[in-house]
A and B are shown apart, each in its own frame.
Chain A
Amino acid sequence: MNRSSREKSRSPLARQWLGTLIVAAFALAFAFPVYFMVSSAFKAENEILAIPIHLVPYEFAGLEEFRRAMEIAPLGNYVWNSALVSFVNVVCTLLLSAMAGYGFAKFDLPFKNFLFFFVISTMMIPQQILVVPLFVEIKYFGWVNTYWGLIVPGLMNAFGVFMMRQFIAEVPNEIIEAGRADGASEVQIFVILVLPLLLPALASLAIIIFIWSWGNFLWPLVAVTNEKLAVLAVGITNYTQPYQRQPMWGAAMAAATLTTLPVLIVFLAFQRHFVKGITAAAIKG
C-alpha cells in the first residue's frame, strides 16, 4: 500500500528505511516485557529491581532461580498438573469434536438442526457465568479438589464442533460411500477414511485448545484448593504474594518463563498453524 505510483518519486530507499525503523521500534517495544521476563529468570535476585536496569544479567544465575522456585512452592506438581490437564483436554476435545462434526456434517439425524444449535449456543456462554453453578454441580458430584473436577468440565469445546463440521462438510461424500460399498464399518470409515483428511484442521484446533487449557485460570482456581492439585497458572501467584517475607521476584520470573515456554515452543514450531488456529474463527466465522 505504501508504494502507490505517485509516492515512488520520494526516494523509495529513504521510505523503506523509515518504514523499517517504525516497524522495528514497535516490535521491540511490544517484545520488551517478554524479554525482561526471560532475562530476569536468569538474574540474581538483587539484580531484578536494580537501577539502572540490567538489560542482561551481570551475574548469570543459571538455573538458580528455577531451583529456588521449586523450593518455595511445589513447582514440579504444578507443571505435571498443567501438562496432564492440557493433554487430556486436547485429546478429548479433538476426538469428540471430530466425531460430533462428522455426525453433524454427514448424517441425517433426527432434530439435527436443533441439536447443532444446542451445541453451538454454548459457545456464547463465558466461563465466568458458569463458574458458580458449575462449582455447585461439581460439589454435588463430590469432585471438588479432584482431578475429575479439574479436568472434566474442560473436555469439550463447542468451537471445536463448529470448526470440525465446517471442515468435514468439504470432505467428498464419495469417499464415505466408497467405504460403505467396500463393506467398511462406520467406525472404520470415520477413523481410516475421514480422520486423516482432517489432520491440518485438527492441528490448528489442538493448538487453540492447548493454549486455552494451559493458561486457563478461573476454573482451576475455584475447583481446586489443594496445593498438590494446583496447575501452573494458579500456582504461579504464590510467588508474588505481598505477605511473603523475602523478595522472590527471580523465582516468580523463572516460573513465569516456565509457564510461557510451552506456548513459545508451539508458536515457534507451528507458527503457520498458530496464527491460522488463532484466526480460524476470523476466517470461518
Chain B
Amino acid sequence: MGASVKAPITRNQKWWGLLFVSPAVLFFAVFAIFPILFGSYLSLTRYNLLTPPVYIGFKNYFALAHDRKFLLSLRNTGVFVLGSTVPIWIGSLLLALVFDSKIPGRTVWRALFFLPVLPPLIVVAVVWKVILHPYGMVTAVLSPFTGLGEIPWLTDPHLSPILLIAINNWTMIPFFAMIWLAGLAAIPDELRYASALDGANSAQTFFLVILPLLKRTAVLVAALSTINAFQAFILQYELTPDKGGPADTNLTLGLLIWKYGFQYFRMGDAAAASVVLFAIILLVTLIQLILGRSKY
C-alpha cells in the first residue's frame, strides 16, 4: 500500500484523513454498494414501481431459465462478445504496429485514425444509421456487384448482428490501438536495435522481444474489450427495429434489462437479469486475471 507519513501522527491528523476520504466513501456506499445489495434484494421480488415489492424468493431466476427472450439475449450477447473481442485484439494490435512505423506525417495519419474514438457511441450509431440507410451510400457503392437498389442492412436478421459488430469494431479498434501504441512507445528502441544486431528478423523481434513486454497491455485490452462487449446496449438500442429486433435477433442482455425494467416495468425480472450479467462479467474478469498472472 501507499507510503504513510512517518512523523508522529496526532489523533487530530487521523481525523483529518478520515474527513478527506469520507465524501468518497459515503458516495460509493449510497450510489454503488447499496444499489448492488438493493438490486439483489429486488431480484427476489415482484415489483412494478406502483405497488410495493413483494418477496417471491428465487422465482424470477427460475422464470428467466425458461424465458425465451432471456435465453435468446444470452445467445445474442455471446455472439456480439465473440465478434467484438478476438477481432478487436488482433485488429487493434496490427493497426497499432502499422501506425507505429516511422513514416512522414505520422502524427496527422494517427490523428485521422483516432477520429472514430471521438464521437460518443450514440453518435456513432446515428451516423451509421445514415450510412447504412437502405437506399444509402453503402448500397449504392455495392450496387454494381449486388444489382440491388435497396438493401435492408439493419433490419435483416442475418446482416444486422454482423454489422453492429463491425460498427462497434470501427470505433473500438482505434481506441485499443491507442492503448497498444502507448505500450509500444514505452519499449526503448535500443531493444529493437539490439535484437536486429543479434540477427533477428522483424517477425522474430516482434514475437520474441516486443510481444512479451506488452503482456500487461494485452491483459488490459482483453479485459476492457470483453467487459465492454458484454454490456452491448447503445448500438442495438438505436440501430435495430423495435430496439433489439428484428425478431429479437439483436436483443442483448443489456437491452433486455432496460426493456424489462423501463418498458414493461418488471423491475424484479430486470434486477434478476442484472445479477446474472454481473455474475458473468465477474467470472470473465476473474478468468482473465488468472490467465494474466500466469506465464506465457
Contacts and interface: CB of A to CB of B under 8 A. Distances in A.
B279 to A, nearest CB: 10
B130 A249 contact: yes
Contact of B49 (A26, A136, A211, A253): A136
A102 B110 CA distance: 36
A1 B205 contact: yes
A171 to B, nearest CB: 9
Interface string B6-38: 110100011011111101110111011111101
A20 B101 CA distance: 9
Interface string A92-136: 000011011011111111101101101100101111111111111
B65 interface: no
A195 interface: no
B223 to A, nearest CB: 9
Interface stretch (A60-68, A196-204, A258-266): A258-266
A132 B39 contact: yes
Given A96-B27, A107-B16, A125 B278 contact: yes
A108 B110 contact: no
B290 interface: no
Contacts of B103: 16, 19-20, 23
Contact of A103 (B17, B33, B39, B238): B17
Nearest to B16: A186
Nearest to B167: A33
Given A99-B24, A177-B7, A23 B98 contact: yes
B271 interface: yes
A122 B67 CA distance: 30
Contact of A24 (B109, B114, B216): B109
Contact of A263 (B100, B120, B241, B257): B120
A1 B192 contact: yes
A262 to B, nearest CB: 10
B115 A30 contact: yes
Nearest to A99: B20
A56 B31 CA distance: 48
Contacts of B182: 275-276, 279, 282-283
Given A1-B210, A128-B257, A237 B1 contact: no
Given A23-B101, A236-B122, A34 B3 contact: no
B122 A237 contact: yes
Interface stretch (B68-76, B78-86, B135-143, B157-165): B135-143
Nearest to A189: B16
B45 to A, nearest CB: 10
A19 B97 CA distance: 11
B88 to A, nearest CB: 14
Find the residue from B33, B97, B118 having the highest chain A CB count within 10 A. Answer: B118
Interface residues of B, number: 116
B131 to A, nearest CB: 6
Contacts of A244: none
A28 B112 contact: yes
A30 B116 contact: yes
Interface in B174-197: 174-175, 178-179, 181-183, 186, 192, 196-197
A27 B113 contact: yes
Contacts of A221: 258
B49 A139 contact: yes
21 contacts: A4-B200, A19-B101, A20-B104, A31-B115, A36-B130, A40-B130, A106-B4, A115-B21, A124-B281, A126-B278, A132-B271, A134-B31, A135-B261, A136-B38, A137-B34, A155-B27, A255-B126, A260-B123, A267-B114, A278-B178, A283-B182
Q: Which 4 pairs of residues, A with B, have the shortest CB-CB distance?
A: A107-B17, A215-B120, A103-B20, A133-B39
Given A211-B120, A237-B126, 20 more contacts: A3-B102, A4-B202, A23-B109, A27-B109, A31-B113, A49-B135, A53-B140, A102-B20, A106-B4, A107-B21, A109-B14, A131-B261, A135-B261, A136-B38, A152-B31, A173-B6, A218-B233, A240-B238, A271-B111, A278-B117
